[in-house]
């Protein structure tokens, strides 16, 4: 897990467009999202790639004959070298394609990409892409009509946390709160305190063999089991996160489990308090910290989502429900595609 990622989205069209042009950036993206016959998808560490039918954006796609979208996620620090690599291999680009991007670096590197790669580069605000993708999926699941109750609350968890209120089916939104304790906090502490080589390894080990109670100071550690019952607090309730971090018998899995519980608890508390302020009973969680599509039931994403759902249940006394998109990994890509294809507003009458 890196501190910053960029998501690049490209569309396939039935007629013309980038299908008729052998564009180096298009070839680069397809090389990861659409391996040739007999080839296996081989991605660098920290990258992810998907090719998907763009059903949720059909009402926009039909106007231009688009059939599917390609989504490539890569660490932002690697983007400058990739731009130079593509530009060096194909210095004379005849055609021009259009791509959308969101996340870290989308605005910073836009001019460089457009100039060196002959691309119409649409930088989409990350929260706008998230809201648009979330609405598109809601419409698809509801059979083309958005049955969502508004206002709705989205908790987007990436490097940090943004709590977003969505006011209506047109996607009017406002960032109402947030926190600096998010995915980067978890991964930064994991890297400093353990030897896990990857985010997935740390999270899966936390689930399989980690005991957060060995690293957290519990009520029972302070008062004992009997006294805890007397004061009305369960002995396994956390009194202080990481309060026993100096213990000699800790494993890396124990530390990872405690860190995950700490970050998830903070997310749950923030989300529940905001839900109460808004008078809603559902919080939608999105973002890199909770996303993982097409994974086995015990994959890292499902472990994180379970921890977050438990935290929401705890802080709300089961009165607020945590929900997650059907395909969180493609949510930003769908949202960027929606923004890319949305017809421009009609010109004002003179």
Query: What are the pLDDT digits (tens) for 34-73?
Result: 876 666 667 887 788 888 765 544 555 555 556 778 888 8
Please give the residue that has the higher pLDDT: either 267 or 61: 267
Q: What percent of the chain is predicted at pLDDT more than 70? A: 83
In a domain, 87, yes or no: yes
DSSP strand pairing (5-13 vs 66-75): antiparallel
Domain shared by 21 and 51, yes or no: yes
The pLDDT of 287-300, averaged and rounded, is 68
Structure tokens at 59: 């009402």
Please report the pLDDT score of residue 307 as a whole number: 98
Domain shared by 202 and 280, yes or no: yes
In a domain, 243, yes or no: no
In a domain, 321, yes or no: yes
Please report the pLDDT score of residue 230 as a whole number: 84
DSSP strand pairing (161-166 vs 173-179): antiparallel
Please report the pLDDT score of residue 47 as a whole number: 82
In a domain, 276, yes or no: yes
**Which of 73, 93, 124 is the endpoint of a domain?**
124
In a domain, 62, yes or no: yes
The pLDDT of 74-80, averaged and rounded, is 89
Kindly report the CA angle at 322 between 174 and 149, in degrees rounded to 5? 55
Domain shared by 31 and 75, yes or no: yes
pLDDT for 181 beyond 90:
yes
Whether the Cβ atoms of residue 49 and residue 32 lie closer than 8 Å to each other: yes
b vs e for 282-292, b when ≥16 Cβ sit within 10 Å of the residue's Cβ? ebbbbbbbbbb
Domain shared by 91 and 165, yes or no: no
Please report the pLDDT score of residue 93 as a whole number: 67
Please report the pLDDT score of residue 10 as a whole number: 87
b vs e for 203-214, b when ≥16 Cβ sit within 10 Å of the residue's Cβ? bbbbbeebebbb
Q: What is the largest CA-CA distance in the chain?
A: 79
Whether the Cβ atoms of residue 302 and residue 292 lie closer than 8 Å to each other: yes
Most confident of 133-142, 300-309, 333-342: 300-309
Domain shared by 57 and 13, yes or no: yes
Rounded to whole angstroms, how far apart are CA atoms 142 and 136?
Answer: 10
Domain shared by 52 and 188, yes or no: no
Rounded to whole angstroms, how far apart are CA atoms 68 and 48?
Answer: 17
pLDDT for 142 beyond 90:
no
Whether the Cβ atoms of residue 87 and residue 117 lie closer than 8 Å to each other: yes
Q: Which CA distances in Å does 192 have to 186, 251, 259? A: 10, 14, 12
pLDDT for 231 beyond 80:
yes
- On average, the pLDDT of the chain sits at 85
CA-nearest of 240, 258, 238, 239 to 193 is: 258
Please report the pLDDT score of residue 348 as a whole number: 47
pLDDT for 126 beyond 80:
yes
Rounded to whole angstroms, how far apart are CA atoms 226 and 179?
Answer: 37
The model's pLDDT over 303-336, given as tens digits with 9 standing for 90+, comes to 999 999 999 999 999 999 999 987 776 788 888 8
Whether the Cβ atoms of residue 211 and residue 259 lie closer than 8 Å to each other: no
Please give the residue that has the higher pLDDT: either 295 or 142: 142
pLDDT for 143 beyond 80:
no
In a domain, 349, yes or no: no
Domain shared by 52 and 165, yes or no: no
Domain shared by 195 and 255, yes or no: yes
CATH of the domain at 188: 3.30.420.40
Which residues form the domain of 12?
5-124
pLDDT for 15 beyond 50:
no
Rounded to whole angstroms, how far apart are CA atoms 49 and 329?
Answer: 10
Q: Which CA distances in Å does 331 have to 90, 98, 159, 259? A: 31, 19, 17, 26
SS3 assignment, position 5: strand
In a domain, 80, yes or no: yes
**Residue 128's pLDDT band (boundaries 50, 70, 90)?**
very high
**Residue 154's pLDDT band (boundaries 50, 70, 90)?**
very high
Please report the pLDDT score of residue 19 as a whole number: 44
């Amino acid at each position: 897990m890196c501190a910053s990622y960029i998501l690049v989205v490209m569309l396939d069209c039935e007629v013309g467009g980038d299908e008729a042009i052998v564009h180096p950036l298009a070839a680069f993206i397809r090389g990861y999202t659409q391996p040739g016959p007999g080839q296996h998808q081989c991605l660098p560490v920290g990258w992810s790639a998907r090719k998907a039918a763009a059903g949720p954006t059909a009402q926009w796609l039909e106007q231009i004959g688009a059939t599917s979208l390609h989504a490539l996620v890569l660490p932002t620090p690697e983007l400058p070298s990739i731009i130079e690599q593509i530009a060096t291999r194909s210095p004379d680009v005849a055609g021009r394609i259009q791509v959308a991007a969101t996340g870290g670096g989308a605005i910073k590197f836009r001019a460089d990409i457009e100039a060196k790669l002959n691309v119409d580069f649409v930088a989409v605000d990350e929260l706008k892409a998230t809201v648009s993708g979330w609405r598109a999926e809601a419409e698809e699941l509801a059979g083309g009509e958005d049955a969502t109750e508004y206002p709705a609350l989205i908790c987007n968890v990436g490097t940090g946390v943004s709590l977003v209120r969505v006011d209506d089916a047109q996607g009017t939104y406002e960032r109402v709160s947030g926190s600096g304790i998010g995915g980067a906090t978890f991964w930064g502490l994991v890297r400093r305190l353990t030897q896990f080589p990857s985010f997935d390894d740390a999270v899966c080990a936390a689930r399989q063999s980690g005991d957060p109670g060995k690293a957290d100071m519990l009520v029972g550690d302070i008062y004992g089991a009997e006294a805890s019952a007397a004061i009305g607090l369960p002995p396994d309730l956390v009194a202080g996160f990481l309060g026993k971090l100096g213990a000699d018998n800790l494993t890396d899995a124990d530390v990872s489990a405690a860190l995950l519980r700490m970050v998830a608890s903070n997310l749950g508390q923030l989300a529940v308090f905001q839900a109460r302020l808004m008078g809603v009973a559902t919080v939608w969680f999105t973002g890199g910290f909770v996303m993982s599509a097409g994974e086995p039931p015990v994959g890292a994403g499902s472990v994180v989502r379970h921890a977050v759902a438990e935290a929401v249940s705890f802080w709300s006394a089961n009165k607020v429900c945590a929900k997650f998109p059907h395909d969180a990994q493609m949510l930003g890509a769908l949202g960027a595609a929606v923004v890319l294809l949305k017809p421009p507003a009609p010109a004002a009458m003179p």
